[in-house]
A and B are shown apart, each in its own frame.
Chain A
């Protein structure tokens, strides 16, 4: 029987404000992971990050860019303790639309690259890339905000793509 190429693996919908969400025991039968999210945070101006496989060490780096309708901005850091799926602009009253792709997540010969597109209709368009300096396959993804909580009604769906 043929295996579907693009398969939903797990879905999280928040019924209440939540500090963080975690996708764990991720199926290793795919090549890429695509995280499709529509979320908000309780703290205005807050941003959203991720950690992989429970790694809280300084093994992450990122570079991102955004436009807010009047200015552009780019920033980045190396040797930090998390990656980002949304780094600039912060939460507003409008839910954020976000797609983050973890390329070759199950490969064990590469560091893990996560590219993301993040949009908040009334404040920003953003794109970024992260690198987790580990060749381990990704088995868990934890998402969190840096000060407040993820808002009730936020949805996170994880898809697997075969190769």
Chain B
């Protein structure tokens, strides 16, 4: 039914070739997803990621970390709250190449944190087959530790699926040192 014969001011018509006109381009879902990220605005004594149920979507996990702490000790990671880990890493300190191997109550993913202003230490950690219940959990990581490159691995002798990842700063083991503002902990899932 025509309601009005008044003159219409609508004179311009625009035609678009694409249904996406005015919108962002469609992006296919990827296989490498950001799950969670913590960028600290204050001090914390630990960082925890709950990974329960992620195994239905992801096969592997990756963590990308930049950290400053006080005291500037070492960064440890625990899987599912476990307290027994094997650690091995190699490093180059600018004059020689060395390696270490030891057991600890955490996986030492950064061997030494530095105290220089604005100098954060970084590590990229990969946990392959993080959710398989037929494999013990092995971890590989690559870190810049107080200006030293470190390539390392850790073993958590448990076939349980990974439901929690927790980070803390300590000296000879997992501790409650202060993780400072500006530190960043990001968890990614990788499909497979």
Given known A-B contacts A74-B94, A104-B66, A113 and B186 have beta carbons under 8 A apart: no
**Residue A128, interface by CB 8 Å:** yes
Among B94, B95, B182: residue with most chain A CB under 10 A? B94
Chain A neighbourhood of B29, CB < 8 A: 2
Contact for B32 among A5, A75, A163, CB less than 8 A:
A5
Chain B neighbourhood of A73, CB < 8 A: 92, 97
Contacting residues of chain B (28-61) with chain A, CB-CB under 8 angstroms? 29-30, 32-34, 37, 39
Q: How far is the CB of A101 from chain B (nearest CB, A)?
A: 7
A161 and B184 alpha carbons, distance in the complex (Å): 13
User: A interface, by DSSP: helix, strand, loop or mixed?
Assistant: strand
Q: How far is the CB of A38 from chain B (nearest CB, A)?
A: 19
> Which A residues lie at the B interface, using CB under 8 A?
1-6, 31-32, 61, 63-67, 72-76, 101, 103-104, 107, 109-111, 113, 115, 117, 127-129, 131, 133, 135, 161-163
**Residue B4, interface by CB 8 Å:** no
Residue pair B64, A163 in contact (C-beta under 8 Å): yes
Contact for A161 among B26, B64, B151, B182, CB less than 8 A:
B64
A4 and B94 alpha carbons, distance in the complex (Å): 38
Residue pair A5, B188 in contact (C-beta under 8 Å): yes
Residue pair A131, B94 in contact (C-beta under 8 Å): no
How extensive is the interface on chain B, given as a class?
Answer: 35 or more
Given known A-B contacts A74-B92, A75-B95, A115 and B149 have beta carbons under 8 A apart: yes
Which 8 interchain pairs have the tightest Cβ spacing?
A65-B92, A74-B92, A76-B94, A129-B144, A72-B97, A103-B122, A163-B186, A6-B32
Q: How many A-B residue pairs have CB under 8 A?
A: 115
Given known A-B contacts A2-B27, A103-B66, A111-B118, A129 and B95 have beta carbons under 8 A apart: no
Residue pair B143, A3 in contact (C-beta under 8 Å): no
Residue pair A63, B92 in contact (C-beta under 8 Å): yes
**Residue B3, interface by CB 8 Å:** no
Give the nearest-CB partner of B37 in chain A. Answer: A163
Given known A-B contacts A1-B27, A32-B64, A74 and B96 have beta carbons under 8 A apart: yes
Residue pair B149, A65 in contact (C-beta under 8 Å): yes
Give the nearest-CB partner of A109 in chain B. Answer: B182
Chain A neighbourhood of B186, CB < 8 A: 31, 163
A113 and B120 alpha carbons, distance in the complex (Å): 8
A2 and B24 alpha carbons, distance in the complex (Å): 10
Residue pair A63, B182 in contact (C-beta under 8 Å): no
Known: A63-B92, A67-B97, A104-B66. 5 other contacts (CB 8 A): A64-B92, A65-B91, A75-B92, A113-B120, A161-B64
Interface CB pairs A-B, < 8 A, 16: A2-B29, A63-B147, A73-B92, A73-B97, A75-B94, A75-B95, A76-B93, A76-B147, A104-B66, A107-B184, A110-B120, A111-B116, A111-B119, A115-B122, A128-B92, A131-B147
